[in-house]
Structure 1
Amino acid sequence: MTVIDILFRLDDICKKYDKYDIEKQRDLNAHGDDAFARFYATVESEIDKALLKAETASMETNRAAAVAMKAEVRRTKARLLEEVPKLQKLARKKVKGLSKEEQETRHDLVLGLSERIEAIPDGNTNATKANGGWATSASNKNIKFDSDGNIGDDFFQQSEESSQFRQECEMRKMKQDQGLDVISEGLDTLKNLALDMNEELDRQVPLIDEIDTKVDKATSDLKNNNVRLKETLLKVRSSRNFCIDIILLCVILGIASYLYQ
C-alpha cells in the first residue's frame, strides 16, 4: 500500500468515525434546533481540517504525497464552495429569538466564510486568477456558481508538481512493466524446462517398462530354480537315507550271524 493510499484511507476512516467524536457531537448539540449554526459549525470545521491538511502538504517532503494532499484540499474547497449557497438560504430564514442585526451578521459570516475558503492554499495559485474568483456580496443574487455545481476546468489546471508526479508515476509504471517482462521471461523458461522434462519422461517410459519385464522374468526364473533346488535336495536326502538303512541292515545281519554261531 502506497503513502497516497494510506492518506486517503486514513481520511475515510476519520470521516466514518466522526460520529463518535464526543467534542464534535457536543458542539453540534449546543446549537439546538438552529440549522444555520449547525451547518456553519460543520463548514468551519471542514475549513480548519483543510487548512491543517494544506499546512501538512506544504511541509511534506514526499512529492507524490504532497501532490495527493493538495489535490484533496482542492476537492474539499470545491465541495465547501458548493455549500455556501445553502448557508445563504439558511441565513435568510427567520429564526425565533433572532434579531435583525444578528441575521445581518449571519450574512456577513457567510461572506467571510467564502473568503476563508478561497484563502485556503492548495498549491494552485493560477486557479483563482484564471477563474476571476467568485463574486460575493450580501445578496445571494450576486453569488455566481455554475448551474450544474461544477467548477471550471482551470481550477484543476495541471501544476509543476502534478506534472512531476505524473512523470514519476510513468517511470514507476515503466519499471513495473520491465519487472513484469523479466517475470514473464522466467515463467517461459520454467515452462520450457517443464516441457523438456515431460518429453524426457516420455522417452524413459519404454525403458522402465522393459526393466520391469526383465525384473519379472528374473523373479520367475529364480522361483523356478528354487523349486528345482528343493526337489534335488529332497532326492539327495532320500538316497542318503536309503544307504544308511542298508548299512544298518548289514550290521544287524552280522550281529545276528555272530550270535547264532
Structure 2
Amino acid sequence: MSVIEILTRVDAICQKYDRYDVEKQKDLNVSGDDAFARLYASVESDIEAALQKAEIASKEKNRASAVALNAEIRRTKARLLEEVPKLQRLAVKKVKGLSSQDFAARNDLVHALPDRIQDIPDGTPAAPKQTGGGWAASASRTEIKFDSEGRFDNEFFQQSESSSNFRQEYEMRKMKQASHIYRVVFVYTGDFFLKNDQGLDVISDGLDTLKNMAQDMNEEFDRQVPLMDEIDSKVDKASADLKNTNVRLKDTVNQCTEEVRWYKGWFDQFESNIGLFGYRFAF
C-alpha cells in the first residue's frame, strides 16, 4: 500500500468519526435541530477533503495512484451534487433562533455550491461555462465567424498534417481491431459449432445403434413366438396326459386295494376254518 493510499484511508476514517469529536462540533456551532447546518457542514467537509485529494493527485508521480484518486474525487463530486437539491429544500425552511441575514445567506451558499463542487480538479479538462443555455457570440473573439455551411473560418479549426495522420492511423487501428475481433469471433464460433456438430453426430450414432438393437429384438421376439406356442401346446398335452394317468393309477390302486381286502378276508376265513377243523379232530 502506497503512502497516498494510507493518507487517503486515514483521512476517510477521521472524517467518519468527526461526529464524535465534541470540541469540533462545538466549533462548528451546529444545532441538533438544524438539518441544513448538519448537512452543509458535512458537504463542506467533503469538499475540503476532495480538494486535499486533488492536490495530492496533482503531485502524485504514480499514474495509477493518480487515476484512482481522481476517480474517487469524481465519485465524491457526483455524491455532493446529489446533496444540493436537499440543501435547497432545507434552506427555505425556517429555523428557530436564525436571523433573517443568516437565512438569506443560506440561499447564497447553496447557489454557490454547484460551482464550488465542479471547480474541484478531478483529472478531466474543465468544460467551458455557458451563459444563457446556448451558444453566444463573444465580443472579444470577433475573428471567429460562422459561415452559411456551418464551417469555421478560424485556422485553429483547420485540419493539420499531424492531425490528419493521427486520424488515419486511428482509423487503420480501428479497422485492424475490428477485423481481429471478427476473426476471433469467427474462430470461436466455428469451434463452437464444430464441437456441437461432433456431439450431435455422436448422439445420432447412438440413436441409430439403439434403433438397430430394438429392430433385432423385435425380430428375435417374432421368431420365438412359434416356439413359445409349441411349448405351450406340449405343456398342455403333457398336463392332460398326466391327469389321465393319475386317474387310471387311482383306479388301479383302488382295484388292488379291493382285491387285497378280499384275499385278506378269504385268508382269515380259511384260518378260522382250519382252526375249527383241528379242534374237532382233537376230540
TM-score normalised per structure 1: 0.44
Larger Rg: 2
Relative contact order, higher structure (CA 8 A, sep 6+):
1
TM-score normalised per structure 2: 0.42
